[in-house]
Structure formats: C-alpha cells, structure tokens
C-alpha cells in the first residue's frame, strides 16, 4: 500500500474512533450506548490494524536502507 494513502486512512480511522467515543459518552440510553460500543470496537480494530501496517511499513523501509543494494554479489 502506498504510504501517503495509508497515512490518510490512519487519520480517517482516528477521527472515526474519536467520533464514536464522543457519541458513546453522550448516549442517552443503555441501548444506544451498546449500539455505539459495537461500532467503536470495530473502529478501534480497524485503527489498530492500520497502525500495525504503518509500523510494519516503516520497519521494512528502514531495513531496506540498511541492506546492500546489489544482492547478487560474488
């Protein structure tokens, strides 16, 4: 995945989690809280997955800088 696109998706996921957290805090009834809680759990899972992808991408990028460019050395 392209890094700027991944960063945009990460930003959107953070905003979505913040929105659901606010809705959860302001929910009037327990049933409304339960509905928002499920959406919040899904949004948190997506955010966590994107963070892991981003961290893996950064680690991979740093590792590629340390490796020699020519892998077929004799």
Q: Is residue 70 part of a domain?
A: no
Instruction: Provide the CA 38 distance to its chain's centre, in angstroms.
Output: 17
Contact 35, 26 (CB under 8 A): no
Q: 26 lies in which domain range?
A: 3-60
Q: How far apart are CA 51 and CA 42, in angstroms?
A: 14
Q: Is residue 15 part of a domain?
A: yes
Q: Is residue 47 part of a domain?
A: yes
SS3 letters for 23-49?
HHHHCCCHHHHHHHHHHHHHHHHHHHH
Q: Is residue 45 part of a domain?
A: yes
CA distance readout (Å), 28 to 11, 18, 25, 34, 36? 28, 18, 9, 11, 11
Q: Is residue 39 part of a domain?
A: yes
Please give the residue that has the higher pLDDT: either 1 or 41: 41
Q: Is residue 74 part of a domain?
A: no
7-18 tens-digit pLDDT: 899 999 999 999
- pTM to 2 decimal places: 0.68
Q: Total structural domains in the chain?
A: 1
39-58 tens-digit pLDDT: 999 999 999 999 888 887 65
């Amino acid at each position: 995945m392209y890094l700027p696109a991944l960063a945009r998706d990460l930003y959107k996921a953070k905003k979505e989690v913040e929105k659901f957290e606010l809705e959860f805090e302001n929910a009037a009834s327990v049933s409304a809280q339960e509905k928002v809680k499920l959406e919040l759990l899904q949004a948190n899972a997506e955010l966590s997955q994107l963070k892991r992808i981003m961290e893996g991408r950064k680690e991979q990028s740093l590792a590629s800088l340390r490796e020699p460019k020519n892998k077929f050395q004799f």
